[in-house]
A and B are shown apart, each in its own frame.
Chain A
Amino acid sequence: MQPPVERVLIETSEDLVALRRLVRERAAALGFGATDLVRLVTAASELARNIIVYAERGFADISPVRRQGRRGIRVRFEDEGQGIPDMELAMRDGYTSGRGLGKGLPGARRLVDEFEITSEVGRGTVVTITKWL
């Protein structure tokens, strides 16, 4: 039986590898298919890397979720970094061309089913993503 919430500290690039591996394992155990697994792990990698780049450290909480008989997985990223001054700009959809600027948030959002973000300049940011089976 899985523990309800698993926390991964995010500070180094090795932590990113550990997070990716754990998210993949948990999601695979829930029954996610190959393509969805890659989507989820990629989104998690993007958001976790944001923590390292913009906030130096933070953590990610992974948990299975249930709603009206549907099962899914939720990952909540939290940091105490600088926050996002212009949310609208950060979430603006525009394809990056490899030399992309910005935090890759719109891209990550496309890969998951639910995407919530709250941020306060000087206090930190919380991003929660959910993917349903």
Chain B
Amino acid sequence: MNAFKVPILKVGDVLIVSIQSDIDDRTVIEMQQRVLEQIERTGARSLLIDISLLEMVDSFTGRMLSDIAAMASIMDSETVVVGIQPAVAITLVELGLELKGVSTALDVDDGLRILKERMRERQRRHLYSAKENAAAG
């Protein structure tokens, strides 16, 4: 089997997907599949999609990003998309695509920071509800 065009790395508890060039629709769909499989396999609770090298995002790609975030969320993972280029952002707005439900960050650093904070927030919530359950007895 050919090496998959979109590298997926696990760094700590985070899956990092790096889309490095203009990819065709089939690869996009395959990437979606692989990411979800990896989430299942590794138990990663955070997903970071880096599109800083992507020079175009059309409605298909935009939908794909929204879908991945939604699917990951169902599998209890948080998603952040980083690196949307200015020209791409302007075009997305003009196309009428707001990527609702997709968290975004400027770059990988910020993305990782946001994911870490979300994890902390989650743990706090879990801790809180565990305490509540214990108190309720």
Contact = CB atoms under 8 A, between A and B. Distances in A.
Q: A and B: direct contact (Cβ < 8 Å)?
A: yes
Given A20-B56, A46-B58, A99-B63, A111 B91 contact: yes
A42 interface: yes
A21 interface: yes
Contacts, number: 81
Interface stretch (A54-62, A71-79, A90-98): A90-98
A123 B62 CA distance: 31
Contacts of B25: 13, 16, 49
A28 to B, nearest CB: 11
Nearest to A100: B59
B99 A45 contact: no
A38 B24 contact: no
Contact of A98 (B55, B62, B86): B62
Nearest to A95: B96
A106 B97 CA distance: 12
Contact of A100 (B56, B63, B99): B63
Interface in A91-119: 95-100, 104, 106-108, 110-111
Interface residues of A, number: 30
A96 B94 contact: no
Interface in A32-62: 34-35, 37-39, 41-42, 45-46, 49
Interface in A1-22: 12-14, 16-17, 20-21
Contacts of B88: 38
Interface in B21-38: 22-26
B99 A49 contact: no
Contact of A20 (B22, B66, B87): B22
Nearest to A21: B22
A104 B87 contact: no
A108 B86 CA distance: 18
A97 B55 CA distance: 22
B81 interface: no
Contact of A42 (B26, B57, B86): B57
Contacts of B41: none
A98 B101 contact: yes
Given A41-B55, A49-B60, A107-B95, 7 more contacts: A16-B24, A35-B91, A95-B96, A97-B98, A97-B100, A98-B62, A98-B98
18 contacts: A14-B24, A16-B25, A17-B23, A17-B24, A21-B22, A34-B87, A35-B91, A38-B88, A39-B91, A41-B55, A42-B91, A46-B58, A96-B97, A98-B98, A107-B96, A110-B95, A110-B96, A111-B94
